[in-house]
């Protein structure tokens, strides 16, 4: 069944206020994120919006940080509550992966607390050597 939504990377279509509201109030990984921080994240990223074709209303979002040569980080994947359960999350992830495919990236990473099954459908797997990875956290 085709997903009745449009997915676009056009930054002019993003509803930044809506994205900030979603993430800062309903996404466990971004609760309390400031609007300034979200706006900077959007400005420095490849952004994907999902839109209702009838109304043009934004109903989903995903963000990718990438050098477009070797690496990408998929983050801030969010589907509005009213649009959930219709395959939009999977379609959004597949659109991201399809968009990144021509770059020939060696690795695309993400982190999730509760959506492993969704990402596995798009080919994501646990790291083979998680002990090799390190993080520097400042907060």
Residues of the chain with pLDDT under 70: 1-3
pLDDT at 138: 87
Cα angle 102, 105, 111 (rounded to 5 degrees) comes to 120
pLDDT at 108: 96
36-53, pLDDT tens digit by residue?
Answer: 999 999 999 999 999 999
pLDDT at 1: 45
pLDDT at 3: 61
pLDDT at 2: 55
Cα distances from 55 to residues 61, 78, 79, 85, 88, in angstroms, run: 16, 19, 16, 19, 16
Quick check: 24 and 33 in contact, CB under 8 A? yes
């Amino acid at each position: 069944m085709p997903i009745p939504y449009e997915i676009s990377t056009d930054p002019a279509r993003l509803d930044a206020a809506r994205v900030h509201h979603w993430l800062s109030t309903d996404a466990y990984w971004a609760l309390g994120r400031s609007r300034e921080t979200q706006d900077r994240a959007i400005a420095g990223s490849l952004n994907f919006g999902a839109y209702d074709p009838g109304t043009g209303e934004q109903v989903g979002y995903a963000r990718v940080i990438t050098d477009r040569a070797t690496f990408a980080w998929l983050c801030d994947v969010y589907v509005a509550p009213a649009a959930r359960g219709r395959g939009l999350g999977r379609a959004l992830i597949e659109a991201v992966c399809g968009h990144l495919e021509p770059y020939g990236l060696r690795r695309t990473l993400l982190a999730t607390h509760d959506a492993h099954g969704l990402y596995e459908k798009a080919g994501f797997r646990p790291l083979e050597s998680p002990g090799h990875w390190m993080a520097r956290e400042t907060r």
